[in-house]
Amino acid sequence: MPAPSATPDRPALVVAIDGPSGSGKSTVARSVARRLGLRYVDTGAMYRALTWWALSRGVDLTDSAAVAGLARELPLTLGTDPDDPHVLVDGVEVGDAIRLPEISAVVSAVATNLGVREELVRRQREVAAGGGVVVEGRDITTVVAPGADVRVLLTASEEARLARRALEVHGSDDADAVEATRDHVVRRDALDSTVATFTEAADGVAVVDSSHLTLEETVEAVLALVPMDVEAR
Ligand code: DC
């Protein structure tokens, strides 16, 4: 049964994609959204945007009550066009700033704040309830949209994830670049997994292992999980 907001151009389909950093889920989720004509929501960008805002206002990230309070006030506009996923905080475009290493290094402190999660999950559920969207993150298949039509855990071996992140951050996946990336990726995933389970698939969640797949093959593997009747509606 399509969600109330379904229209002929925007099906109610909801695709939930979780995975650790370096699994390629942002790129895959964007491609899947494009291919299915759906909106795209990067929930990691929400935690990053809040981190950026807290830092720019001089709020101590270890002050959990203050940061949770900021989450409730966060004036965030998240573009949902997969070809232009812009992020505005209080009217300021922060799409590039929130990917900087300074933010990546501390975002887990914000993402593990339970008051923050309560507020951001509430906002994410509202978007998912509108349907016609691919939502990606760490707890989408389990907490944000457990009733999604398609639920995928995108995994990749640690080796493959480190190589991808090294290429992204250092422009190379040689041994030095991989080593420089290791601590960062492994430590962040360990911290993040204290509040969301994204290393094992929950019941009914399909696993796509992208370790030995190209981007296109990974996208096809996710698309193959979309039920035909849902794809057509
Ligand atoms: O996917 P990313 O690296 O942009 O995520 C940024 C941070 O937010 C990272 O610490 C994981 C966390 N996160 C989360 O806890 N839950 C989500 N649904 C998405 C991201």
Give DSSP secondary structure letters for 91-109: TEE-TTGGGSHHHHHHHHH
Q: Based on the number of CB atoms within 10 Å of its own CB, is 57 exposed (0-12), middle (13-18) or buried (19 or more)?
A: exposed
Residue length, the chain? 233
Alpha helices (H) along the chain:
25-36, 43-56, 64-73, 101-111, 114-129, 158-170, 175-192, 215-223, 228-232
Compute the distance from residue 137 Cα to the ligand 1 centre, in Å.
6
The span from the CA of 22 to the CA of 177, in Å, is: 14
Tens-level pLDDT at each residue, the chain (233 residues) = 343 344 555 458 999 999 988 788 999 999 999 999 999 999 999 999 999 999 999 999 999 999 999 999 999 999 999 999 899 999 999 999 999 989 999 999 999 999 999 999 999 999 999 999 999 999 999 999 999 999 999 998 888 888 888 888 888 888 888 888 887 777 777 777 777 777 788 889 999 999 999 999 999 999 999 987 655 44
Amino acid code (one letter) for 83: D
List, in order of start, the domains of the chain with CATH numbers. Answer: 14-223 (3.40.50.300)
pTM recorded for the entire structure: 0.88
Compute the distance from residue 226 Cα to the ligand 1 centre, in Å.
25
* Main-chain dihedrals φ then ψ at residue 150, nearest 5 degrees: -125, 125
Q: Which two tokens stand for residue 20?
A: 């650790």
Three-state DSSP at 34 gives helix
Q: Ligand 1 pocket check: which of 40, 123, 133, 138 to mutate, most ligand atoms within 8 Å of Cβ?
A: 138
Protein residue whose Cα sits closest to atom 5 of ligand 1: 44
Compute the distance from residue 224 Cα to the ligand 1 centre, in Å.
26
Kindly report each contact of residues 166-171 with a partner whose C-beta sits within 8 Å and lies 24 or more positions away, as own/partner.
169/101
Residue 24 contacts residue 218 (beta carbons within 8 Å): yes
| Res 11: pLDDT | 56
Give the whole-number percent of the chain exceeding pLDDT 70: 93
Protein residue whose Cα sits closest to atom 2 of ligand 1: 44
| Res 9: pLDDT | 54
Residue 78 contacts residue 87 (beta carbons within 8 Å): yes
Mean per-residue pLDDT over the chain, rounded: 89
Q: Which two tokens stand for residue 159?
A: 């080796």
Residue 10 contacts residue 128 (beta carbons within 8 Å): no
Three-state DSSP at 140 gives helix
| Res 154: pLDDT | 95
| Res 232: pLDDT | 46
| Res 140: pLDDT | 96
